Structure 1
């Protein structure tokens, strides 16, 4: 029996972003909340009961064969733990291998009827719920259609040569027991764009802190470890395996999101507001910042509404210190903006909600070409496809990713009722990741016309497919899944 495998290969990967230092695989760009040191994390984990050597450090795309024999003896020793990724650890990782399995992959490995208590979303697979996510399956890559992918390997290093060497090692170990279904290569963007996605915005600033692992900065959400990890404090469900083999595992959501950068930039120029004493380009930058909710530097518009502020952006003690409560309308940050739709803070349940995920994606594809910029159109050449390899971890896909995408980002009525001129208005769908193939009319993007909306007729982010995976604890790779 042969398992199909998808590979995500990165020369710069992320729990936050990837570095060019072989001694330290992860970097922390200015403004992103830094990871705790190994000593700090060990102290916190000891108090909370977390086992950082049993939790995989990061994961992405698999198709799995009858490779149990090689899994225990050959692959398990290569798996990178969370502890190995922390600064000042005694056992640092200079490359990293992680593995996760789809529902069909777990079935092939002998986990019968792998219902892990997630409203059957994991069992059914992402393709079967694509419409609910706002995807057009006609845009999906054929490899992701159905449930044929059994798992995913994430292989990361500080160099492409390191990735290639590790991939060759994995292929040699597993031999004909696997077949490769799909491969996606990610890489941190160059120069001062490191840590930024292809639209140019700093990414990964709003990830929550995990109680017992790291200390939150002002405004940063603090979640119980069970929101991310099976069987830990705060896990919302009692499910098969959560107190046994699956404890410390996590659901991994992978999505390949293509970004149409020239079209996005043209839209900003064509619909730029008309703030006084600002150039067209400055007004276009303002519109982009209000659509995202942050400036490209990462500074939130809730704290710097008209102009970017690098001092706030690069200070992790400041750049999350807001909750949309003062004022609660769109005057500072549009209620429809991407970061407010997907993390409503005090807008929703007074900020106390379980719908948190940890994002660990990375850009893929080349920089925009001069020809694309000149024509304001993304090339149809597949080699110029670019976007985000989106990765998110949570203990419950329904409460986590599915709620953020389907119920918040896609729903124009989510948190309805903000009053302008005594009329309740819809805030509109997320202007960045809202549903594909339909027009969206987010409100409040023009600071001089908060009651008005801008109609968006094109998709700047196009879902090309993905899958739901389970990232098992390292102990399960060594025992249950390889026995």
Structure 2
């Protein structure tokens, strides 16, 4: 589906930026995430030379449909390709050591500890991440055939198909990927509710950020410019625990759906509680020109959208926070993809928690590592910035025994106890998403 997006000025080199940085995930969507290991540097470089012609650029991203391929590299992958030491040292430390080594900064503890991850994540074994996105099943399968042909000679660590959930819902039954930030100079004006466009340098290297200067980029310039970083996190959704929680604290289908909406800040359809506080409005949820067009100015106490709701934590907008922060410099572009069995409202057992289904969250930012660590420390696994004490994000926070969720209301707030960790981390990696020029450079011998 092509959206009628309002056109704006182009001030970045769209034809050199990978499409997935700006192109919205299609609806419906199909795709695959592939994790690859480079056994031989020459085979790895050959793969990049062969696959780069099939990697779409962001040129005309606002009207482009059809399949596309994204290619990212971990630090160990760059080293495996034989990238010169001077270039390797120019990458940020958090990227060099990898996501697992930053578990403490990311608050990846307990069930989310890297010791519990799937074997290939966090070990340095993942060198390349290849993702295929498509708006049709046939095009996805054809594109995957092309991709598989070109990664011959590399070791496939995993292939995870995603998408095609009924109603485009995620593994907990919500419409997602609503509310992306507007990027200045990307060729599209902000949509209603996006607020002023954020400087391109917050998302793409080589351009001024909100501070007025470009962020440090990998060297040489051909490697760093027009690239960005991606944080990939794979979550197993514990659907049984989620449904048990809803049933324990609500006595009817209507009250369960309202509680589910309070946890996220939107109804399952995507309709925001700020605009539809009493009942779901699927037409509103499906309308990209309306479903993000709101502020929290008239809801500072959180009577419509609780202060601790997932959506409000990840983008507080004009909420009056107890600990001030510049929201614009903590925004990320998100590509959320659901995998496995679809959401099942009748699933309530512990066995249902282990059925393979969940989400891949891809966070795209020119400073993805620092931004993810801030979000994990301050807005997801802490509540002090909203004066909520130890209360954590109900969607992706790691919950302690007896954890609660606060729903403000008059005359007395409601505190819902016994919230569990509904999405358990099964692995993650930091990737560098090079420009098309950089992909060609990486395919050469240095």
Band the TM-score falls in, shorter-chain normalisation: 0.7 to 0.9
* Counterparts of residues 387-398 of structure 1 (less than 5 Å): 387-398=358-369
* Counterparts of residues 111-126 of structure 1 (less than 5 Å): 111=83, 112=85, 114-116=88-90, 118=92, 120-126=93-99
Residue number in structure 1 paired with 2:249 = 271
- Residue 341 of structure 1 aligns to a residue in which SS? helix
Residue number in structure 2 paired with 1:246 = 224
- 1:216 and 2:190 matched: yes
- Residue 329 of structure 2 aligns to a residue in which SS? coil
Matched-pair contact (CA < 8 Å) for 2:193–2:293: yes
- 1:317 and 2:289 matched: yes
Pick closer, same or farther for the CA change 1:205–1:57 going to 2, 3 Å: same
Pick closer, same or farther for the CA change 1:84–1:78 going to 2, 3 Å: farther
Matched-pair contact (CA < 8 Å) for 1:303–1:322: yes
- 1:201 and 2:166 matched: no
Pick closer, same or farther for the CA change 1:96–1:311 going to 2, 3 Å: closer
- Residue 464 of structure 1 aligns to a residue in which SS? strand
Residue number in structure 2 paired with 1:24 = none
Matched-pair contact (CA < 8 Å) for 1:64–1:101: no
Q: Find the aligned partners of 2:180 and 2:405 in 1 and give their Cα distance.
A: 24
Residue number in structure 1 paired with 2:149 = 172
Residue number in structure 2 paired with 1:296 = 268
* Counterparts of residues 70-469 of structure 1 (less than 5 Å): 70-71=46-47, 73-83=49-59, 85-87=61-63, 94-111=66-83, 112=85, 114-116=88-90, 118=92, 120-131=93-104, 132-134=106-108, 135-160=112-137, 162-176=139-153, 178-190=154-166, 193-194=167-168, 196-213=169-186, 214-221=188-195, 222-234=197-209, 237-241=215-219, 243-272=221-250, 280-347=252-319, 348=321, 349=324, 352-368=327-343, 373=346, 375-379=348-352, 384-416=355-387, 426=389, 428-435=391-398, 438-443=401-406, 445=407, 447=409, 451-469=413-431
Alpha-carbon deviations, 1:87-131, whole Å to 9, x = none? 2x5xx6x3322210001111122332624554x211111111234
- 1:470 and 2:432 matched: yes
Q: Find the aligned partners of 1:479 and 1:180 in 2 and give their Cα distance.
A: 23
Pick closer, same or farther for the CA change 1:124–1:189 going to 2, 3 Å: same
Residue number in structure 1 paired with 2:18 = 56
More displaced stretch, 143-152 vs 289-298: 143-152
- Residue 377 of structure 2 aligns to a residue in which SS? helix
Matched-pair contact (CA < 8 Å) for 2:391–2:403: yes
- Residue 245 of structure 1 aligns to a residue in which SS? helix
Alpha-carbon deviations, 1:139-193, whole Å to 9, x = none? 31111132221111112344555444444433433422x1111121102312xx1
- Residue 53 of structure 1 aligns to a residue in which SS? helix
Residue number in structure 2 paired with 1:21 = none
Pick closer, same or farther for the CA change 1:242–1:358 going to 2, 3 Å: farther
Q: Find the aligned partners of 1:73 and 1:114 in 2 and give their Cα distance.
A: 20
Any stretches of 5+ residues in structure 1 without a counterpart?
1-26, 29-33, 273-278, 417-424
Matched-pair contact (CA < 8 Å) for 1:336–1:427: no
Shift of 1:368: 4.5
Shift of 1:249: 0.7
Count of residues in correspondence between the two structures = 417
Scaled by the length of structure 1, the TM-score of the pair is 0.78
Pick closer, same or farther for the CA change 1:96–1:51 going to 2, 3 Å: same
Pick closer, same or farther for the CA change 1:229–1:308 going to 2, 3 Å: same
Q: Find the aligned partners of 1:403 and 1:35 in 2 and give their Cα distance.
A: 34
Q: Find the aligned partners of 2:347 and 2:129 in 1 and give their Cα distance.
A: 38
- Residue 379 of structure 1 aligns to a residue in which SS? helix
Q: Find the aligned partners of 2:114 and 2:48 in 1 and give their Cα distance.
A: 37
- Residue 312 of structure 2 aligns to a residue in which SS? helix
Q: Find the aligned partners of 1:449 and 1:358 in 2 and give their Cα distance.
A: 38
Q: Find the aligned partners of 2:402 and 2:94 in 1 and give their Cα distance.
A: 27
- Residue 226 of structure 1 aligns to a residue in which SS? helix
Q: Find the aligned partners of 2:312 and 2:403 in 1 and give their Cα distance.
A: 16
- Residue 261 of structure 2 aligns to a residue in which SS? helix
Residue number in structure 2 paired with 1:7 = none
Shift of 1:291: 0.6
Pick closer, same or farther for the CA change 1:326–1:156 going to 2, 3 Å: closer
Alpha-carbon deviations, 1:179-238, whole Å to 9, x = none? 111121102312xx12x2122211111111111122112321421111111112316522
